[in-house]
Structures are given as structure tokens and as C-alpha cells.
Structure 1
Amino acid sequence: MSVKAEQKARNIGEKKEEGKMRVILFPVPFEGHTNPMLHLAQILYSKAFSITIIHIITHLTSLHPSNHPNFTFRSIEPDHAETCSVGGVIELITLLNRQLIEPLRKCVAELVGEVDNEIGCLITDAHWHFSQDVANEFGIRRIVLRTANISAFLGMLALPALRPFYTLPSSETNLEDPLPNLPHLRFKDLPTMNNESHHFIDQLLTSIFIQTKSSSAIIFNSFHDLEPDSLLKCHHLFSPIPIFPLGPFHKHLPLTPQPHHPSFSWLNSKPPRSVLYVSFGTLATLQPHEFLEIAWGLANSTHPFLWVVRPAMVSGSEWLERLPEGFEEMLGERGLIVKWAPQREVLAHPAIGGFWTHCGWNSTIESLCEGVPMLCYPCFGDQKSNARYVTHVWRIGVMLGDKLERGVIEKMIMKLMAEREDGEIMKRVMDLKEKADTCIKEGGSSFNSLKNLVNFILQK
């Protein structure tokens, strides 16, 4: 959107929302962080708040203001030359926490200077620890949004203190030990980023912890019945800061009508719970040999599958060049490979019987909300913690293992899909689905938590 068009859209939006209390939201420009922030913005908009999104103009963002006419947008911009030269996610976030101080300060100053809307709060992703100082400077309450689950957040915060005793990743047997005060997780389940400096990770996590404790409140995209023990620990750790578990965010919003996407006509032709949906999120990459093992494992499993392969997801490939010649023709109607799929709607389709996932939190919570068991192959970050909870705490999925081998893939797909009728995994995931449905209804835990959050923002 051009500057002129953005200004016009902003003016129209602000005129419509004149007099309402304004909530400012500041997401991290990765899809897994931006989408839940936008869901939260829509939830708060439905509660009569005026919504302003501060978004970062970067090559990473998939946020298009024109797709969100109910919100107004203000953009800030980092040094693109410097950000494009950074290799790792953690190093990039560390850099942006330095680069964006002045742009955010200028943007907030402009918003404070406008008199049409009182500012109720600034809601920022937990990774934007620098935003606490900016909020303090303008006397605005900062609320931290943790877009992933509570348990992984606690594991993240514990990592710097544990580093002197355990070096991750490693093959030491003590990595199988349970974490102190978090017995559901092992040391090997702690969030890690591949090929990134421990120094950057620990520095970022320490800053997140300190500035979260300095914030006014915390919001989680989770719900009480899903993580009661971790929620209690979080209350103790951050007391007296109020905590609002509002999840699942997407369940507060209506499911969009079935979109015009080739996957749906294909899914409509398949029997109930017969299809394995395969998607590894927006950041995971595969080596060519791993891609081939997945392809043959899916083909040999004999189950129908819908496989999302992002362009450039396979190193050195634009899309499907690494598939054996004639592979798609051999599959016929049993397999469908697409570049993108509307995941929430796909998981809600009656033909889906299982989900092979990287265990990003959005994927995990969307799957359990639709009662779909999971085959877990975590890659990095909090995905390992999520996978551990899926397979050993909630017991609504199975772990694939550390390596992608076609024989193992075939075996684990068969194991997961055998559960889709009356298996114990299926019974447990349907129980969680029911709890997720109940928590957002009147009187439910997330319903009440949202009501409390609205009152908290209004009582400025």
C-alpha cells in the first residue's frame, strides 16, 4: 500500500472509530506470531475498541493492511540492508529490538498526540522487550502477548539459568532428565534454534523475562483446562501481574465460508477421517533427501494425503522439482500437493483424520480444537515442548522421531490413522475439543478471562 493510500485508509478508519478507546497492537513479522495478534485484534474490535496495528515493513511480513478494513495501520521500517544480512531468527529479533526503538517511539508519539481516541494500552509480542521502555516513556500500559503456549514459555524462561549445566543441543544422556519444576518437559524439550548462538538466545530470553515482569499484564493463546499446572506456575512467577488466558483465539471468531481452493473439491471426494493433512508451517525447510523420504513414506502408507509444500521449502528447489519423475501421476487421486491451504478450514473438514505437523502452537491448537490427532515432527523453537505435550501429556498424537526415513514414516502414519475411529488417542483429542468449545462459551474460563481483560483495559 502506498503512503498516500495508507493515510487515506487510516483517516477513514479513524473517523468511523472516533470516540472509542484505542488499543495499539505491535506484532512480530512472522506469520505464526502475526496471525494470533490479528485474531486478538479482531476479538477486541468486537468489544468496541478502536484498533491500531503497528506493523514492520520487511521482506518477512505477510501482513496486508487492505485485508483488514476494520483496523488502522501505522508502519515502521528497519534498516533493510542490515536485517537482510542476518542469518538466524534469534539474531534478527535481537537486531530489530535495537533498530526499532526510535521508529516505535516516533510512531507512539504521533498516536499519543492525536486527541480523537484515548489509548487504553499497547499490546506487544513478548519478543519486543524494548517496547516496555517506550510504553513507560509515554505512560501507556504495556500488555505482553505470548502467542505460543504457557508451558513452552516457562521452559524458555528457564533456559538461560540452566545453560551452565546443560548445553543444547547435545547427545548427553542427562538431556532426558525432567526439568526442575516442569516435570512434563525434559531438558531436550527446551526451546532451541538451529545453528544460532547460545549467547543471542539467552540474552533475548533474559530480556523478555525482565520486561515481561515490568509489564501491566500478560495474555496467552491458551485456556485453563489445557494447561492448568503451567498457568498456576505462571501466576506465581509473575505475581501480581494479571494473566489472561483467552485461547483458543481463533475459536472466538466465526469460521469463514469454505473458500474456493482446489483442496476442498478433492477432500469432498474422500471418506470421513480418511485423509492425512501434512504441513510444516511457514519457516521449516527440508533437505532434498528428507523431501524424498517424506514423499515415499506418504506414498507407501496407502492413505490419502493432502500435502502443503511451500515454494522454496526444499533447499535448492523452487517447488516440486525434487520429486521422482512420474510421482504425482503414480499417486493419482490418492494424493494432492498444494503450495498453500487454508489450514483452519482444512482441519475442520470431515475427511481429515490426522495431521502431520511441525507442532507450531497455532497448528497444534487448531488441530486439537477440531479433534484431529497429530503426527509430530518438531523442528526448532517451542515446537519440541509442544510436541512433548501432544504426545506425553495430553496424549493426542504420536512422535515421528529424530530422522525422516520412509519406513518409519509409513509405520507411524499407519499407527496414527488406525486411531481415527475409536482409539484412545481419538477419545482424548475429542475430549479436549469439547473443552475448547466450552471455554469460550458464556461462563467458560476464556469467556470470563476476556471479560476481565476488557474491564482491565477500560479501567485506565
Structure 2
Amino acid sequence: MEERKGRRLILFPLPAVGHINPMLELAHLLYTKGFSITIIQTDFRSLNPSKYPHFTFHSLFYGFSRSDFEDIPTLLFLFNTRIVEAFRECLGKLLHDASESEEPIACLISDFWYYFTQSVADSLHLPRIALRTAGSASTLALATFPSLKDKGYLPTPGSQLNVEEVVAELPPLRVKDLPLINCKHPEKYYEVVCSSANESMASSGVIFNSIEELESPELTKLRQKFSVPIFPIGPFHKYFPSGSGSIDSLVTSDETCISWLNKQEPNSVVYVSFGSVATISESEFLEAAWGLANSEHPFLWVVRPGMISGSEWVEPLPSGFLENLGGRGHIVKWAPQQQVMAHPAVAAFWTHSGWNSTMENICEGVPMICMPFFGDQFVNTRYVSHVWKIGLELEKGSSRVEIERTIRKLLEENEGKEIRERSSNLKEKAKRCHEQGGSSYCFLEDLIAHILSLESISV
């Protein structure tokens, strides 16, 4: 723990597991570097302040219900329109209170998707730094949306796209790999994307939970496009001793999965998790279940309540399905993922390719089977399978035969062995980046110096 720097930071996370957790990890990291931390949160998904006594919390009321959430773009649009004045009032009060203390506020750090916070911060003369909880490759794609739309790469009413076509501006991405979300109003999504990118370009900097060595070409292009300081200081969770950086802030993990893993052979288990948001149909669930069973490899499967459309949990499984596997399969509602990924029994990770999961996986050197659902998951899958070559791609809706074949290829064939070797090499690169003189170590030092150089004029 470094001595206090006499500066306070205001952090504002988007209320979703994949956004709150990295923001919390960043908060802990900056706290250890001597900054005081205030977190503004919402009533939509709120943290228990008693679990974080070294942080100060302030809450905002959104004022809408789950019935308002048609899809993710609508949700993002509501986030950016419903609480502008409440946020302005809260931030203004914090600045006023700070002006009467000996601990001035250095800056606001808000989620990339909270584009409205830039204009609010500007109006209060407070510097804003954006936190991008996804990779730089997907961010570059989002920042290129206006050009992609003009050139016909993005879907519009009545358009017919060649989904296999390589996007000339973003190789190796194909049209099908662009970070799109299936929604009723794609124009609303494009508006949110462009506003978020533009306001991040107008910020005082962007923080990435990424590694320079992992995405160097994309980071170089982003620096040219954004013209603001960019700090790839990830992986966030690896700044902390093993286990202490794991912050399952909104979901309770089932620890029985660790005792089950302890009984398995080294490098034998397929770990399956599709994240905190994705849903699958009953038929997709059953094909996955039989594909796992038929592979004859042990598997640990995270099945969230409500993940299967129309079902509470695992009711669609045939009677006696797990029992007939003789202990070879274990299903839980949620798992301590960082701990699972580091377990010596885990041989492969079947994932939705969310960025947090991808980074956690890279840090442990576990080969991946990538089945993307939406957004940046398509980009991440393409990079895992065709750039870094540390995993295989599996289309959503694949049959049990395709699933079994993919698992066997990864765990039993020469291609899987080569993937494992590349995964191990990338793990070592990720490990070195936090050592003194490593890229993330140096960018973190730069970020701290940058924050201390920022000047705010409190109201």
C-alpha cells in the first residue's frame, strides 16, 4: 500500500457484472496506489457498501423497471438519458464538498458506455477518463462504425450482407465478426456506439483492461484515432494475490465446484460458462449437454437460473442424465471463475468469449472453445481463433456431434496440442507485463502520473 496521495477519484460503473467487476478491480488497484475512492452506483444493481469499507458510496435512482428493457441497446440508451440531471447534481455536490476539504477530486472515471458523463464532467470542469471493459480490437471496430455503415458493412432495413466478407478496414474481421447486437432498433444501437466512441475521444484518456503485447496493432490505430492518452494496464485481477482479486460482486458462487475439481485428473476437465447475460434455447441446451456427455471428458458447467429460455434451471435435462455419467459431470449455478481457471484439472474453457473471461483465460493458459452470442464476443472469438490461435470457434446452435468433435479436437488431437503450447506462451507474456519494467507496470505508472497532472475546477 502506497502512502495517500491526497486526491480522490470518482468511479461510475455500468450496472452489469462484466462492467462492475473490472471497475471494482480498478478501484482496488488505484486505492493501493494511494488514491481515495468514491463510487457512484445505481439502484438497478447495487453493491453492498459494507463489503468495501475503504470506499465511499453514493446512490442514484434510475426510475425505470425491467419492463423497459427491450434489449441491450435500449438499456444503454436509457442509462444515458434518464439520470443525467441526477448524476449532475450528485457530482456537483461531491465537488462542492471536496472544495471544502483537503482532498480535491482529481477526475471522474466512468464506463465507456456512459457517454453522457463526458458533457456533465465538462460542464463541471472535471476531467473524465473512460474505462473500456472490453478489448481494443472491438473498440476500434466500434469507433469505425460510421465508415462501416457508409460502406454497407452494417445491417440496415432491407440490406443483404455477405457475412463471410472480410472487412477491409478491420482485418481479419469478417462482417459476421463485427460487434453487433440483434435488436429491434439497430439505429438506436449505432447512435449509442457512435456517441460512446466520440465522447471517449473527447475525454482525458481511456483505460483498457488489456495488454500492449496482446493488441499492439489495434492500440496503435486507436491512439491515432482517439488522440488521447490510452493506458492498457490489464489484466486487472492479476495485480492482487491469487484469489483476492476475484470480485464476484453481484452473484454468489457455488464452492462445491472446487471440491469436485479436486477429485479430477490434471488437464482433464472442460469448464463451460456462457457468462452473466447470454441465453440459449432448450434445444441448444440439450445439444450442449449431449455433446459434453458424448465427448467422454469430465465437465464443469455453469448454468445460470434463467439462462435456458422458458426454464428455471436444468429441468430440460433427461431424467438421470448426470447420475448416468458416474460423476463425470458437475453443474452449478455460478462458479468462482478465476479460481476455476487456475485449477490444474481444467484442460479447456468453452466460453461465450466475453472480454473478462478471455483475459482471465489468457492469464491461465487454458485453450478455448469460443461460442459468441453478441457484441464484442464476435471480435474476441475471431482473435482467439485466427490471430492468437489459442482456441477454436464453435457456432451458436451447433449440434451435439459438432460439439463433441470440437472438444475432442482440442483435447486429443495435434491441433489441440499446438493450441495448448501457444496458450502457455501467451500466459507467460501476460505474467511478465506486471513485473517491474513490463508494459502494464509502466502504463500504470503513466496513468498515475497523468491523473495527478489533471487539474479540476470545483464548483
Q: What does residue 447 of structure 1 align with?
A: 441
TM-score by length of 2: 0.92
1:336 and 2:330 matched: yes
| Aligned 1:252-331 pairs, distance under 5 A | 252-256=239-243, 261-331=255-325
Asked if the contact 2:4–2:34 (Cα under 8 Å) also holds between the matched residues in 1, the reply is no
TM-score by length of 1: 0.92
1:86 and 2:69 matched: yes
Q: Which amino acid aligns with 1:96?
A: F
Q: Identity of paired residues, percent?
A: 48
**Cα deviation, residue 69, structure 1:** 2.0
| Aligned 1:3-402 pairs, distance under 5 A | 20-58=6-44, 61=45, 63-81=47-65, 84-114=67-97, 115-116=100-101, 117-164=103-150, 165-168=152-155, 174-239=162-227, 241-256=228-243, 261-402=255-396
Q: Deviations over 1:87-106 (max 9, x none)?
A: 11111110120111011101
Q: Which amino acid aligns with 1:447?
A: Y
Q: Deviations over 1:389-436 (max 9, x none)?
A: 000000000011242211111110111122699811011111110010
| Superposed CA RMSD | 2.0
Specify the SS of the correspondent of 1:310: coil
**What is the distance in 1 between the residues matched to 2:47 and 2:385?**
33
Specify the SS of the correspondent of 2:172: strand
**What is the distance in 2 between the residues matched to 1:364 and 1:29?**
20
| Aligned 1:401-440 pairs, distance under 5 A | 401-418=395-412, 423-440=417-434
Q: Deviations over 1:322-343 (max 9, x none)?
A: 1111112112210000001000
Higher relative contact order (CA 8 A, sep 6+): 2
Cα gap change, 1:260 to 1:189, in 2 (>3 Å)? closer
**What is the distance in 2 between the residues matched to 1:250 and 1:340?**
19
Specify the SS of the correspondent of 2:173: strand
**What is the distance in 2 between the residues matched to 1:221 and 1:18?**
24
| Most deviating of 181-190 and 136-145 | 181-190
Runs of 5+ unmatched residues, structure 2: 247-252, 455-459
| Most deviating of 158-167 and 126-135 | 158-167
**What is the distance in 1 between the residues matched to 2:414 and 2:37?**
41
Q: Which amino acid aligns with 1:85?
A: D
**What is the distance in 2 between the residues matched to 1:419 and 1:148?**
31
